[in-house]
Amino acid sequence: MVHNRIALFRAERGLTRKALAEAVDVNPQTIGFLERGDYSPSVELALRLAQVLGARVEMLFALEPFPPLADQLGAAHLPETP
Amino acid sequence: MILRKTKSVTNRYDLAISPRWARVLSVVSIGSLWGWFFLKFSLGEDSRLASVVGLLALLGVGGSMFLLATQYLNQAYGEDHEIDERERALRDRAHRAALNYVLWVFVLTYVALEVASRAPAPTATGLALNFPAVIPKGIVENFLTVIFFTTFALPPALLAWWDRADADVD
C-alpha cells in the first residue's frame, strides 16, 4: 500500500478536489480515492500531483505511514540540549 | 435529475443519477429481464399473466437502456482518453466480471440442458420439468435477448455498485 499526504498539501495550497483534479487531468472522484488510500497512482500521475502541489514525490508518497505532523513539528522545535 | 459534465477531462454529457438510484435501476432491470425469461418459459405464450410478463420485459429493457444513458455508460464504454487511469482500471474490472457472467450463464445453461435431457420421464417420478424435447425458436430468441441486454448493462451496473461518490463531498 502507498501512503500519501495529498489531502494535507491540497489543503495547504487552498485547492478543492475539483481544482486539483482539473490540474492533473483526472476525475474529481479519483482525488478522493487517492486521499483515502483506496487507489495507488501510476508514476505519471504521482509526478503530476507532485508538480501541481509543489512538492517532491517522496514528500507526497511513501511506502510506510507518515509520522503525525504534530510529532514532526514538535521534534523540529525542540530546544537543543547542551 | 440533471445533465452534467461527468468527467473533468472530457466534454461528454450524460444523464447524472445518484449511485443509489443506479443500483436500484440495475437490480430492477437485470432482475426483470431474467424474471421475464423464466416466467415466459414456464407459463408459455397463452398465460393469463401475459401482461405481467410483458411488463417485466418492458421494465428490463427500459431499465437497461436508461442505465446506459447515465454517467456510467461513459465510464463503462468510454475510450481510454475519455477516462482517467483509475476509471480505466475499474472499467476493465467490470468487463472481466461481465465476461465471467456470460461464461457462467452458458455453463449453467449447458448443465441445465444436459440434466433436463437425462431426467426420468415425468410419469416415473411424478415430477414434470416442463422441458420441451426440441427447444422452440422463441425460447432461444428470448434467451439471447436476455443475454444481450444483461451483458450490455452489467458493466455500468457494476460501476454503479462500486461508485463511492457519496464519500467524495468536497
Smallest Cα distance from A48 to chain B, Å:
13
Instruction: Assess if residue A64 is contained within a domain.
Output: yes
Write out the residue range of the structural domain in which residue B112 sits: 2-165
What value of ipTM does the predicted structure carry? 0.80
Taking alpha carbons only, the member of B23, B25, B26, B57 closest to residue B41 is: B57
The pLDDT assigned to B29 comes to 92
What residues of chain A have any CB closer than 8 angstroms to a CB in chain B? 16-18, 21-22, 25-33, 36, 38-39, 41-42, 45
Taking alpha carbons only, the member of A42, A55, A3, A48 closest to residue A21 is: A48
The pLDDT assigned to B129 comes to 56
Q: Are B33 and B53 in contact (CB under 8 A)?
A: no
Q: In this complex, which of A25, A26, A28 lies closest to B168 when CB atoms are compared? A: A28
Residues 6+ apart with CB under 8 A from B3: B13, B14, B15, B16
CB–CB contact A39 B86 (8 Å): yes
For residue A30, the domain's CATH number is 1.10.260.40
Smallest Cα distance from B79 to chain A, Å:
14
Bridge partners, residue B16, by sequence: B2
Instruction: Assess if residue B18 is contained within a domain.
Output: yes
Q: Each residue of B100-136: b (16+ CB within 10 Å) or e?
A: ebeeebeeeeeeeeeeeeeeeeeeeeeeeeeeeeeee
**List of chain B residues whose C-beta atoms are within 8 Å of the C-beta of residue A37:** none
Instruction: Assess if residue B38 is contained within a domain.
Output: yes
- Does any CB of chain A come closer than 8 Å to the CB of residue B86? yes
Instruction: Assess if residue B103 is contained within a domain.
Output: yes
Smallest Cα distance from A78 to chain B, Å:
36
Taking alpha carbons only, the member of B106, B31, B96, B91 closest to residue B64 is: B31
Q: Is A22 exposed, middle or buried (0-12, 13-18, 19+ CB in 10 A)?
A: middle
**Predicted confidence (pLDDT) per residue in B76-126, tens digit:** 998 898 899 999 999 999 999 999 999 999 999 999 888 877 776 655 555
Instruction: Assess if residue B170 is contained within a domain.
Output: no
Instruction: Assess if residue A67 is contained within a domain.
Output: yes
Write out the residue range of the structural domain in which residue A71 sits: 3-76
Q: In this complex, which of A17, A30, A38 lies closest to B84 when CB atoms are compared? A: A30
What average pLDDT does range B31-53 have in this prediction?
83
Instruction: Assess if residue A28 is contained within a domain.
Output: yes
Number of domains in chain A: 1
CA A24 to chain centre: 14
Q: Are B94 and B158 in contact (CB under 8 A)?
A: yes
What average pLDDT does range A68-82 have in this prediction?
74
Q: What is the C-alpha separation between B62 and B75, in angstroms, rounded? A: 20
**Predicted confidence (pLDDT) per residue in A4-38, tens digit:** 999 999 999 999 999 999 999 999 989 999 999 99
Instruction: Assess if residue A82 is contained within a domain.
Output: no
**List of chain A residues whose C-beta atoms are within 8 Å of the C-beta of residue B82:** none
Number of domains in chain B: 1
Instruction: Look at residue B144 and tell me whether its pLDDT is greater than 90.
Output: yes
Q: What is the C-alpha separation between B104 and B133, in angstroms, rounded? A: 23
Instruction: Assess if residue B23 is contained within a domain.
Output: yes
Instruction: Assess if residue A30 is contained within a domain.
Output: yes
